[in-house]
Amino acid sequence: MKALLVSPAIPDTFWSFKYILKFVSKKAAHPPLGLLTVAAMMPKEWDLRVVDMNVEPLSDQALQWADFVFISAMLVQKVSCREVIDRAHKFGKIVVGGGPLFTSLNEEFRDVDHLVLNEGEITFPQFLSDLANGNPQRVYSSSERPDITKTPLPRWDLIKIKQYASLSIQYSRGCPFNCEFCDIVNLNGRRPRVKANDQMIRELQVLYDMGWRGRLFIVDDNFIGNTFRVKSLLREIVLWQKARNYPFGLYTEASVNLADDEELMKLMNEAGFDSVFLGLETPEDDCLKECGKHQNSGKDLLEAVKTIQGHGMEVMGGFIIGFDNDPPNIFERQIKFIQNSGVVKAMIGLLNALPGTRLYERLKNEGRLLSMDECSGDNCDGSMNFIPKMDAQKLKEGYQAVLEYIYSPKEYYKRVLEFLEHYKPTRRKRVDMTELMAFVRSVIYLGILDKGKSKIYYWKLVIKAFLFHRESFGEAISSAIFGYHFRKLLGK
């Protein structure tokens, strides 16, 4: 059996980091971890090929070669996914779809031959068994939550790992919180399930033995969802990293209550975590209560950010505009919070209602839901799929004004300096050739070729970082490069 595993293209988004890749000579930001994990579940005698369309185009020859075309995708990949399905069918190939996109919007893909929904450890073996017996069903779904200690190692051998800016592994699934707009509980449940410590160390060792050095993203919905277990894991990672002189720079997603746990922050930093993405959402407490974000409500979010930064971890932040309780001055308040917090990589988007969320059901019952065609999965493209309480035009104009302000060169570089004031790295990082070349390219693109006053602000940052924040100089240059990506997304 010849199986072609395809990861559809991701459009230019906050998370695609497309415009950063030329600085580090990479082709894509992250590998298709889910697809590589599914590949590990396939029969050993099958002939497998992976095409990540974020690295290379999907050729007619690859489609002609295959017996089956397996596609795993997220909502943001919907347009490219549709194209892959149509092309595969033109060649008469059997298409199998799985992952979050198909699980959430399976009714939109009635032409897909087989849908393997929910978590693959449960449904994919059922599909393979029926296929082997000659009677595969069209849809496989299950509400059962698998034991991920039995999840196999991803098939890293099927891709060229050096083509990626960062590799990815997963420790847990699920989140103990139930924010109204988030679909994680629907997809992965509220009880965080975790891998065994030795299992995680084995995954780290495999990547190390393959020669990987550099960034490693732990892709969990909420890495600290089970604090007792994660602290146990972190102690093991600390020993592993120290014994190998910290080959991996780690980053992940977590909840704001991280700032309340001194031991956890110290362990993460000692394990090699240098950044963490937090869903900060909004400085308006009524909006936090509205969406059930109780872990943020009533908390000094600015202080929480500064606390985490002070423990050697940069805070990347997610922000949302479009809540029912947004006051008229929400745009100015978001700008003020983002600037004062030093959250350099601020992902700010308009609220959207994803299928399976409590928000989706509430807005549907209120008659405010629009077509899912309005929801692209890119929460920074200014789209909305429901009727907001605030005038829609005012909302979109205000949102655009926020983006223009926080990513204008002057304000962006000012925010980088605010971050450096509070960021306290605890170890000096090794500088490899990739990072050195990224710095050289930043000088060329940002310090020489950039437009208008942008290059002036760049050089002010470089000089101040070198004079006053030398231990964080790498973070300053990295932030400058990320700013280039964000400005390009805005067409600047």
444, pLDDT greater than 80: yes
Q: Which residue range forms the structural domain that includes residue 215? A: 165-406
Rounded CA-CA distance 483/292 in Å is 32
Q: Is residue 421 part of a domain?
A: no
Mean pLDDT of the region 313-334? 98
Does residue 158 lie in a domain region? no
Same domain, 310 and 261: yes
List the alpha helices (DSSP H) in 40-77.
Answer: 60-65
> Looking at the structure, do residues 248 and 369 belong to the same domain, yes or no?
yes
How many CB atoms within 10 Å of residue 245? 8
Q: Is the pLDDT of residue 491 over 90?
A: no
Indicate the burial class of 4 (C-beta count within 10 angstroms; 0-12, 13-18, 19 or more).
buried
Distance, CA of 59 to chain centre:
27
Q: Is residue 149 part of a domain?
A: no
> Domain holding 355: CATH number?
3.20.20.70
Is residue 327 domain-shared with residue 181, that is, in the same domain?
yes
Is pLDDT above 80 for 371?
A: no
On whether both 207 and 127 belong to a single domain, the answer is: no
Average pLDDT, integer, range 290-295: 96
- Residue 273 confidence (pLDDT): 97
Mean pLDDT of the chain: 95
Q: What is the pLDDT of residue 373?
A: 67
Q: How confident is the model at residue 374 (pLDDT cuts 50, 70, 90)?
A: low
> Do both 65 and 127 map to the same domain?
yes
How much is the pLDDT for 433?
86
3-state SS assignment for residue 314: strand
Give residue 381's pLDDT. Answer: 79
**Residue among 411, 297, 279 nearest 347 (CA):** 279
pLDDT at 379: 67
Domain-located, residue 298: yes
Is position 412 within any domain?
no
Task: Give the tens place of pLDDT for each residue, 131-176.
Answer: 999 999 999 999 999 999 999 999 999 999 999 999 999 999 999 9
CA–CA distance, 255 with 242 (Å, rounded to integer): 26
11-20, 344-353, 443-452: the lowest-pLDDT one: 11-20
93 and 230 share a domain?
A: no
Residues 6+ apart with CB under 8 A from 166: 29, 30, 214, 215, 216, 217
Q: Could you tell me if 475 and 399 lie in one domain?
A: no
In this structure, are 83 and 229 located in the same domain? no
The string over 393-425, giving b where at least 16 C-beta atoms fall within 10 Å of a residue's C-beta and e elsewhere, is: eebbebbeebbebbbbbeebbebbbbbbebbeb
- Residue indicated by tokens 């000088």: 443
- Asked if residue 256 and residue 333 are part of one domain, the reply reads yes
Q: Do 375 and 460 fall into the same domain?
A: no
d(CA 316, CA 277): 4
> Residue 372: its pLDDT value, please?
67
- Total domain count for the chain? 3
Residue 95 pairs in a beta bridge with 69
Of 374, 406, 438, the position where a domain reaches its end is: 406
> Among all chains, which residue has been given the structure tokens 């170890």?
427
397 in any annotated domain: yes
pTM: 0.95
Cα of first residue to Cα of last residue in the chain, in angstroms, is: 48
Residue 155 within a domain: no
Residue 23, classified by CB atoms within 10 Å of its CB into exposed (0-12), middle (13-18) or buried (19+), is buried
Do 293 and 212 reside in the same domain of the chain? yes
Is position 147 within any domain? Answer: no
- pLDDT tens-digit profile of 54-67? 999 999 999 999 99
